[in-house]
Structure formats: C-alpha cells, structure tokens
Amino acid sequence: MRVTRCIASILWTMAIGALVCVAASTSALAARTDRALERAANGRPQMVDVIVQTPDRPTFEDRTLVGAFGGEAGLPFSSINGFPARVPSPALKGLANNPRFSSLSLDAPMKSFWDRNAVRPPVGAPEAFATYGATGAGVGVAVVDSGVANHEDFSNGVNSSIRGFVDFVGDTDKKLIDPYGHGTHVAGILAGHGSAVDRFSGIAPGSSLYILRVLDGNGRGTVSNVLRALDWIRHNAAAHNIRIVNLSLGHPVFEPYNSDPLCKAVEDLVRRGIVVVAAAGNYGLCDGAECYGGITVPGNSPYAITVGAMNPRGTASRVDDVMARFSSRGPTFVDGIVKPDIVANGVFSVSMTSPGSYFETRYGELEVSSTEYDASVGSGDYFLLSGTSMAAPVVSGIAAMMLQKNPSLTPNLVKAILMYTAEDRGYDIMTQGAGYVNAPGAVEVAESITTNPTSVGDGEYWLTSPLSGSSTIDGQGVLWTGRLLFTTSILTSSSQNPIVGYNFEELWGQGVLWNYMQTVYSYEFDDLDIESSAVYWTGGVSSFSVLWTSWQTQSASDLIYSEGYRWDGKKNR
C-alpha cells in the first residue's frame, strides 16, 4: 500500500507540475505588476510599454535580460530605480518571476484634465500682491505639460516669464511650441503678466517658468515622458531655483502609490524640497451622478498637493462659488487616502491660447472675443477652459508667492499652510479637501512663520507675529479653517464587517474615521479605454482642528521629513 501511495504521489507530481509553475507565475504576476498589466498578460498577445523597477540602480545586465524575453529596454531613470521597456505581453509573467525586477507598471497614457465649459480666479491674488507685494518673484516653477506658445502676455515688456523649454516628446526641434494648447493655458493661469489685458493676468507673474513638454499635439503622452521630465527637474532644480512642479495631467490608479513609478518620482522631488502640485482629475461624475474614488495618478500620492476644482459661476465674488461637479473626489483607489487636499477655481478660466493649436482649430467656440475685453489683440488670443488642470496652476502660483516671501518653507509646510488658511465651503473633505484656497491668508502665514529651530526654545511660539485668522477677498471676509487633514491611519467600517485598520506611512500623524460603502463598480476613463473602479463614499469623516503656534523638540522619528514641526492640536504645550 505504501508503494502504491508513493507511486501515485509521483504520478500526481508529474501531472500537476506544470500547474504548480503556472500558479507560482500567476502569484508573482499579481504581486509584482499593476492591475493593467495583469489583464494584459492574460489577454491577447501584443507589445506593451512598461516601467520596470529594480531593487537598486538598474544595470546593463537588467536591461539585457529584458531583451532575452523579446523586449527592448530604454535608458534608466534617475528619480526612481527603473527603466522603460517595450515587451511582448506573454513575457510579463516571466519578467515578474525574475528576482532582479521588483515591480512592473504600465507606461500608462497620460491625459490633461480640461473640459469645454471669464473671470479672474477669485482666490485673492490681487489682495496678496497689494498687501504683501507677492508675485512669486525669483521662484522657479516647472510646468510639465504640452509645451508653450510665445504669447506676448508672458512678457512684462522687459523680461519673459519663460526661462527654459525642454521637449521630451521629440517630434520637433522648435522652441516655445504648443501644438495642443493645454500647456499655454496652464502656464498663463500661473504666470501671465496681463500685458495685453490686465484682468487676465496670472496668479504669480513674477515667477520663472520652466516648460517641460511631455504631451504631443493631440494631448497624448506616457508615464515615461513625465518621468524623464521629473528627472530633468531633479538635476536642474538647484541651478534654476525650481521650487514647484505643476502636473495638470494624470492617469487612472492601477496600483498602490508606494509602488507606482510616477508617485515614487513625486516623493523623490518632495523629499528634495520641491513642492509638487497635481490636478485631482475630472472624474467626479459617473453616468451623470456624483461619485467618489476618481482621483488620478499622481494626485493619489500623499506627497503631492492635490487640487480639485471650484466653479466661480462667472462672477468675481467667492460668495456664490460652488464645487465643480466634474472634480474628482477621494478616497484614492487602492490606498483609500483622503484627497483632494485643497480646491481652487477651475471653471470658466480665461488664459492664453496657442495659435493654430488643437484647441484653437477644434473648439473655436471657446475663444474669448476681443470685443469682450476692449483690447487690440486678436480674438483667438484667449480661451475659456474648465477642469482641475486649470485649478492646479492657481495653487502653484500661490505656492510661488509663499516661497517668495519665505524661501525656507518646506513642501510639507507649504501644504500645511494652504490647508490651514483655506475656507471651509461646507462640503465633505473627500470633495473639498481642507477647503477653498486663500492666497492672502497663505502668504500672511508664510511671512509670519519662522522655520529656524534655533530661534525658539521648547514650548515657545514660532510665529514672528500674531495670525489674523481671516482674510479679505473682493471686499468680503474669508474665515480660515484652522485645521489640517490627517491621513496616516484610515479606518473603514461597514454594516457587514468590523472596523479594519489600514496603516500607511503618509504625510500626517493622526487618524481619519470614515464610513465605506462596499459597492464597487467599473467605468471607462474617457478615451483611454482603461477600466478602473470607483467607490461610493458615505461621509462621516472625523478630522482634527490644529493650532500650530509652538515648537516642540522631537526625536528624528517624530519629524515630518526632518522639518521638526509637530501638529498636535495644542497651543504652547
């Protein structure tokens, strides 16, 4: 009997050996690839563009190994340990099984976030200039987008805001070109001078723009294009004082932020002292109904300042402003992070256009006629666009104002100040984040804060002057929220399941409690032909009010990226 059992065992081993290999391969595939590549590996054979990540710096042998699987490998990135490659989809399982490759991610198509939908963004930029002289002077801002046109409003008559242009698309050797038109509009919102029409001036006209072109004439690009641009910023930031990166683009979430290559590159820049501002995405509506869970990459990164869109309803006043229904809401898919961080004007945004661009030739109805602003410039010089793409540069411009007044601010402190001085508009935090951005308030705090820990003792105030707690925009009072959003520990609960804790190493150090409806459904992300998932969120967030007026001596493990500031909800402990 024992011999019979042994023989049977051997026969079964021989019979199912291949199945064991398949199971191991499938397990590695799920563990080391994102959701999109997992589908591609099990679909029809095709060539797939991927980002291959390695445990340490990739070697020549790593890239040669991709060739052994029938693929082609590109040059390594510097912001992450990895390189781009094009591989046959059947080879994905083999690559995922190789210990030299820690993860594989789709080199996803990037998309700008605009929509067809003329007012100056009612966030208080004129008041910030009048009171504090804030224009963003001397602060470098990288705009990673579709390029830029040589519009007269980028010049103040002496100097141009545009200080550099690098093309990562590679289909032209011309300078200052934007065949799509999106990048010009974004850059104009951020740093237009208003030379032709004063009321169309940008938020921070004194800032210096570095335009990195990653989207082609149809608004298409890839993650690897953006990674190359972020690599350039990494290597050139110090030489040009680039303190801010604006990313008015993104793609659906396929994997956790801590393995996503674009999110990892964003984290790298933030840790190097560079503020990264990202659009939340325009996926707030599902079949015409408001839905949650539509935040895109890299807005899902806790290191980015993720911006949703407000609708000013065509007026200069903030009183009647409401949330734009298209603006993506949190929580982030996969990780469940509270997003967006803040909201800004993103509807009926007037800015420059690029002559002969995709927008100008296809959407002539979006042109702002010169008769509407009594100027000699042509009617095609300005366009009306809506989207979180338009909201992000508003926040980037305010960040430039803050860094002009206090260059010692770290990215996390910029984020905290923007949150603390925002205006609560009564929406849940998965919709509005901390609230509606407030330029004069943010600049006030930036100018009033000291970041030098040797200047104050334990328990002493580290503000150089008292804070007002409110601002005036267009003659109306704006109260600050006086709070930050914490997303380190997220607790989810439902009627069917007990509370389950998910611990993340993220930006802030407290917990958020929210109710999670277990209904999940799929929908298409426009023309990307990629399925993602959205969750209905039922509210119930508990956040914390924070008075951050004192300095606390902490161990290195308690610091926020070694900044030394602890947000503990107490005043002068």
Residues marked as catalytic: 145, 182, 389
- Residue 280, C-beta contacts closer than 8 angstroms, at least 6 positions apart: 113, 295, 296, 299, 306, 307, 308, 309, 327, 328, 329, 339, 340, 388, 391
| H or E stretch covering 198 | none
Q: Quick one: tokens of 198?
A: 């004063």
Angle separating helix axes 439-448 and 125-132, nearest 10 degrees: 30
**Beta-carbon contacts of residue 341 (< 8 Å; ≥ 6 apart):** 304, 305, 306, 307, 415, 418, 419, 433, 434, 485
Going from the C-alpha of 306 to that of each of 127, 250, 295, 296, 340, the distances in angstroms are: 24, 11, 9, 10, 5
d(CA 55, CA 137): 40
Q: Which two tokens stand for residue 372?
A: 């509407």
Q: Does residue 406 sit in helix, strand or coil?
A: coil
Which residues lie below 8 Å from residue 538, measured CB to CB, with a gap of 6+? 515, 516, 517
| Residue found by looking up tokens 């933030």 in the block | 270
Is the separation of the CB atoms in 179 and 369 below 8 Å?
no
Phi, psi of 239, rounded to the nearest 5 degrees: -65, -30
What does the DSSP 8-state code read for residue 230? H
- Among residues 234, 220, 224, the alpha carbon closest in space to that of 146 is found at 220
CB 40, CB 46: distance < 8 Å: yes
Alpha-carbon distance of 258 to 267, in angstroms, equals 9
Rounded CA separation 48/298 (Å): 21
Gap between the terminal Cα atoms of the chain: 77
Alpha-carbon distance values, 465 to 9, 100, 227, 414, 459 (Å): 80, 54, 41, 18, 16
Within 449-568, residue ranges assigned H as helices are none
Which residues make Cβ contacts (< 8 Å) with residue 514, sequence separation at least 6?
331, 338, 430, 490, 491, 492, 537, 539, 540, 541, 542
- Cα(95)–Cα(324) distance, rounded to whole angstroms? 43
Distant-in-sequence, close-in-space partners of 62: CB < 8 Å, separation ≥ 6: 52, 54, 73, 83, 100, 101
Residues 6+ apart with CB under 8 A from 46: 40, 88, 89
